[in-house]
Amino acid sequence: MKKRIFVSATNTDIGKTYTTKLLLAEFASRGLLVGVLKPIETGVVDGYAPDGEALLECVKQLNPKLWSLEVEDIVPITYTLPAAPFVASKNTPLDLKLIVQKLEELEASCDIVIIEGAGGLYVPIDSQTMMIDLITKLDAVALLVTHCSLGCINDTLLSTRALEAKKIPYALAFNCRQNAESFENISAPYFEQIGQKVLKVESDIDIICDVLYNL
């Protein structure tokens, strides 16, 4: 089986797609054939999946073996309502076989596949499955992307402890955007005190990839 990395976050709009594109570019720069999968995307209107289209454009530039892919090949399940899949699908049971099929098709042309989740770890997919469960079902390691705003300590600890409870190997990355200075003064000292290395998406993507590849 090829390397699988599942990108999740402490909430929605934290920067999963941005981070996924950086991971793809960094791994490709190392000579690896990269692929990408977003198993479920909501808020898809008239067949247009914004995240899927952005990821498809990115990966086609990085892996010539994937030039013929369509967005349906990397986003197998879509819903119109921009809500948790449980709500958007009216609790339709997860079609795991379809996701695995698309993932294995990608792996025929890839060394590594980045899988982007929807929302945070405890976004409900159906009555039996949360997003965190999909990481285990796909036998992936995880990258948790967290924010740098006030409250990130609480949000980060809740999510990392959820991953640890499920015994999911993971790396942690901070997407600081415009508030890096306040983060250094308000939140970073706590993480440094507990021995958590602060790796930032923008500046440390090479180190983040090293950590993920060796998990």
Active site amino acids: 38
The answer to whether 111 and 66 have CB atoms below 8 angstroms apart is no
| Block residue for tokens 């909430």 | 11
From 104, 73, 78, select the one nearest 92 (Cα to Cα).
Answer: 78
CB 13 within 8 A of CB 123: no
- Structure token pair of residue 132: 């965190």
CB 42 within 8 A of CB 83: yes
Q: Which of 161, 113, 160, 121 is nearest to 139 (CA)?
A: 113
Containing 8, the helix (H) or strand (E) segment is strand 3-9
Question: Quick count: other Cβ atoms within 10 Å of Cβ 7?
Answer: 24
